[in-house]
Amino acid sequence: MSVFFCLYSFCFALNAQQKTGNIVEYFGKEKVNDIEEGKLLHIFKTGLTLKLQNSGVNSSTFPKDPVFNKFLMNPEYTASKNKVFDVDFKGEELKWKPIKVDSTNSFRDRNLRSSYLYLTYKSNTEKVVLFEASGHTLALINGYPHEGDYYDYGWSLIPIKLKKGTNVFVLKVGRFPRIRARLIEPKTAVQLTARDLTLPDILIEEPKDYLAAVRVVNATENWIKNYKIISKIDGKTKETKIQNLPPLSVQKVAYTIAHVADTSKLGRIEMTLNLSNGNQIVDTKTTTNIRVKSKYKKHKRTFISKIDGSVQYYSIAPTTQKNQDSLAMFLSVHGASVKAENQANAYKQKDWGNVIAPTNRRPFGFAWEDWGRLDALEVLAEAKRIYKPDEKRIYLTGHSMGGHGTWYLGATYPDKFAALGPCAGYPDLLLYRDRISNRILQMSESQKKRLGITPKVLERMLMRQEPTAVENMITRAGTPSRTLELIRNYLHHGIYIYHGEKDNVVPTAIARDMRERLGKFHSDFTYYEYPEGTHWYGDHSMDWQPIFDMFKNRTIKDDKDIDELEFYTGSPGVSAKSHFISIYQQEEVFKISSFKFLKDKNYTITTNNVAVLKVEFSKLKDTISSLVLDGKTIKIDSGATMFFKKRNGEWQVTSKPDLKEKGPHRNGGFKDAFRNNVVLVYGTKGTNVENKWYYNRALFDAEKFWYRANGNVEMIPDTDFSLKEYADRNVVLYGNKDNNTAWNKLLKESPIKVMNNAIDFDGRTITGSNWGMYFIVPRTDSNKASVGVVTATGETGMKAAYANHYLVNGTTFPDVLLFDAEVLKDGVAEVKCAGFFGNDWSVKHGDFEWK
């Protein structure tokens, strides 16, 4: 997706929502302004800006970044007033321009969009401070990347060691044309911060320990170990040992809270947190944000995520029935910038089911894809464990981005839901992008001018180049997100499409397009446009009674009652099954695979792009003795689970594939490394430059996963890694064979080996210090864990691999990507190899494209 289109659509959506008011917590409403972590040392009041007009479609996976390229590859480069940075495609000089803060001490100017902000601070000594900025997507601080605060929450605190002399901060401006930047002298070396708490509601009726999370600031250059958090509430204390804290970092750690049983304490209650080093209390925080509630009222619950061990929350609008078992369950996925808590609060409590609202990991999160998808699945499983619903009566609905989540999750996991209710939603991000681009074309000249879209810019934006084979391979990694390719999976559901008649955020034309598409093959859907409705017109924009009336008349079929079944997937690692049939392996990975099942006198299955098929005949309760599979009759045991493998174009009965091969448990795409309680392992055996870079590179990923995914990824040096202590956990390794000692423990059998100045790509040798690489392989000591590798052959290759767009939704990363140092300047054109390993995780049986 074009960076311009992405920013424009989100800004447009926000503005439209703010005009009418809804359940969105608007940006800035809860922004942190006060400083409790220390003394204000410096406010950045002057700086330089450089505006780069985005001209054309820029790869979201490898976007061009000439400014960061300049500062990374040429550390001596400095900006100055009116200094020419480059000449743009219109032949105009791009110059650094001075800028000052306004009365709120914020840099604020419409021209800041698509800009960079250059700041400097001269320090008389070396010292550790906290850099606090908001409104930026990311920052380079003295040459090292750090996550930004693009939602302008005021959450960002980055401990840095100032060097004596001039310190340089380069900030990339976020979705709003405003940035604030300050330096704070920390009050203590290690402390708690109340910025971004995750808190449960304590439920009177449920006596147990409760999970919460708080961020701990380590403003030292040493590891902090054996610290504890002591919570005190209603006279009860709980002690929790926290994880080790890396130097100069902020980690969001889990702790426990005691139960409150006194009904007179219903409402907000004071809780005190003490941070202890084992000998003394080093910091104390008191909060009144925690609530004591009844489980029969709307509330929040927390749990430990299996993705990264972090504490996540979800919200519930519980049924009005006291006996909550065996009722319906409605999974409701929220829109962009909507909190899960507000999502649940928008629903009236139902007398026949519980409304469950997951977070998508953040109010924006991942558009219900990637880790947002995993969060929805985790919350659904956790809510089913607690509420024990009728498994046949699980439903899915959502509004706006949650409408997209409904279309996407419903197509991806069709046997999990009896019916869908997408409200004001778009089925596919690419379709939404195209609609936004068409709206730009339809704008008046004055509107285009206001957005800086001149005829020349528009011409460049509309340029389309035929993608190369390498680019197509990268795009292929996004196949599981192509919802419209999975459209026939909607045959599993009843569907109620609900949209405002005059929605200008998610254009009504998108809903009408889905009505037309479904009308060609689907016989069980309802379409309704709310008269004069815009994007949001009150809680009934999603809590619409006819949707729930339709839900009430739909149930998930029992396997034994299914006579016909279709299923489509882009990857078994994302979605492998429907009911009793699983696509276990693909012939061509990350391309659409499908099966069609028909039960008549025999079982008949026809497949497309399937290498291994799993069928659980025991679930059907029939005594049929044969299966016709792609025209071949095969004898079966109707009481068994059987696997079928295609060899030389012929189907044969086979045993369950070895878990060392690809399958639903581990199928790749580089992003898949960041789950399964992932741990980040950085190299320490290189030069000082390498060691510092790989440490900061791992820290950058940890920062981004916190900000984007409310995450808490453990981070350790290679010298602390052992196969036994971190058994069955995913690992992301930073460094190469020469500088990371965990390489030989984890990657001895890897077909790709990266060393200083060379890569061995399954026998093909590539030399030079300029190569960067991302790839994923299985942990050979585990049947489920993977190893992701962020690596390079030298210093320039390391810097080329600075970006972590793989932690952003809408980006596509196959199993392997090889690129050189020019990738920051020229983008995806400088990717030299992209591809997928075979089902046996080999290069030989894989699919790779080289430039």
Q: Counting beta carbons within 10 angstroms of the beta carbon of residue 46, is it exposed (0 to 12), middle (13 to 18) or buried (19 or more)?
A: exposed
| The pLDDT of residue 454 | 72
Contact between 582 and 600 (Cβ < 8 Å): no
Both structure tokens of 1: 């997706």
Q: How confident is the model at residue 5 (pLDDT cuts 50, 70, 90)?
A: very low
Least trusted range by pLDDT, from 324-328, 467-471, 515-519, 616-620: 324-328
Dist. CA 216–CA 436, nearest whole Å: 41
Residue pair 719/741 in contact (Cβ under 8 Å)? The answer is yes
**Residue 781 confidence (pLDDT):** 97
pLDDT of 433-485, one tens digit each? 766 666 676 777 777 776 667 776 666 666 667 899 999 999 999 999 999 99
Strand partners, 515: none
Q: What is the percent of the chain with per-residue pLDDT over 70, rounded to a whole number?
A: 94
Rounded distance, CA 527 to CA 545, Å? 14
Instruction: Taking residues 738-757, report their average pLDDT.
Output: 98
Q: What is the mean pLDDT of residues 412-420?
A: 98
Longest dimension (CA), the chain: 86
**Contact predicate 383/314, CB 8 Å:** yes
266 close to 292: Cβ distance less than 8 angstroms: yes
Encoded tokens for 334: 């929220």
Q: Under a CB-based contact definition with an 8 Å cutoff, are residues 176 and 152 in contact? A: yes
Tokens of 402: 């949650």
The mean of the pLDDT values for the chain is: 93
| Least confidently predicted of 442-451, 656-665, 716-725 | 442-451
Q: Which amino acid is at 313?
A: Y
Mean pLDDT confidence for 334-348: 96
> pLDDT at residue 23 above 90?
no
- Burial of 106 (C-beta count, 10 Å sphere; 0-12/13-18/19+): middle
- 135: three-class secondary structure by DSSP: coil
Lowest average pLDDT, out of 317-326, 487-496, 589-598, 831-840, goes to 317-326
pLDDT of residue 445: 77
Confidence of residue 26 (pLDDT cuts 50, 70, 90): very low
Say which residue the tokens 């902000």 belong to: 117
Give the predicted TM-score (pTM) of the model. Answer: 0.95
pLDDT value for 431 = 76
Give the containing element (helix H, strand E) for 403: helix 401-412
CB 257 within 8 A of CB 239: no
What is the amino acid identity at position 530?
Y
Kindly state the average pLDDT of the residues 795-814: 95
Give the pLDDT confidence of 231-247 residue by residue, as tens digits: 999 999 999 999 999 99
Distance, C-alpha 29 to centroid of its chain = 24
In the numeric block, which tokens belong to residue 279? 């000998």
Q: What is the pLDDT of residue 15?
A: 38
Residue 22 has pLDDT above 70, yes or no: no
